[in-house]
Amino acid sequence: VAQYASDGGNGKAASGDVDQCLRALEDLDSLLLRASRKEPDASVKAMKAKIGIAVDALDSLLQTVPQDVLDKGKAAADAYRIPRDMEPEIVDPEIKQLESIL
């Protein structure tokens, strides 16, 4: 995605967005590890904040990509989506809890 943005003249902004997203995901990974060790500073609130930062950075990154490229990518992604009514129901309570976080 960053390469398409760079080709469209928005390389510097895209690079910053990629860095911010990766940093947030690394921080989230660290929080998840600390949560698995029952460390008190690894709160759900902190995890949600990191997810929010990553999503905002991805949104910003996508805004740097030329519209025609985005349209082609969206069409390809839509071709692989499973309609909600065809998705299998998740019964694992831990997975449901993770979904509620996201």
Residue 41 lies in a domain: yes
Per-residue pLDDT reduced to its tens digit, 87-102: 666 677 777 777 777 6
User: Is 75 among the domain residues?
Assistant: no
Q: How many angstroms separate the CA atoms of 102 and 99, rounded? A: 5
49 within a domain of the structure (yes/no): yes
Q: Residue 21's domain spans which residues?
A: 2-67+82-101
Cα(1)–Cα(17) distance, integer angstroms: 11
Q: Domain tally for the chain?
A: 1
72 lies in a domain?
Answer: no
Q: Are 17 and 78 in contact (CB under 8 A)?
A: no
- The CA–CA distances, whole Å, from 77 to 32, 64, 70, 73, 80 equal 28, 18, 10, 6, 5
Q: What is the pLDDT of residues 12-68, one digit of tens each?
A: 888 999 999 999 999 999 999 999 999 988 999 999 999 999 999 999 998 988 889
The pLDDT value given to residue 84: 62
Residue 30 resides in a domain = yes
Query: What pTM, to 2 d.p., does this model score?
Result: 0.68
The tokens for 81 are 């989506």
- Determine the average pLDDT of the residues in 3-10: 83
Smallest CA-to-CA distance from 17 within 51, 69, 60, 70 is with 60
With tokens 């839509």, the residue in question is: 78
Q: Tell me what pLDDT residue 102 has.
A: 66
Across residues 70-89, what is the average pLDDT?
78
Answer with the residue of higher pLDDT: 1 or 86: 1
**4 and 66 Cβ atoms separated by less than 8 Å:** yes
Token duo for residue 15: 């690079």
Tokens standing for residue 41:
């500073």
In a domain, 77, yes or no: no
| Inside any domain, residue 51 | yes
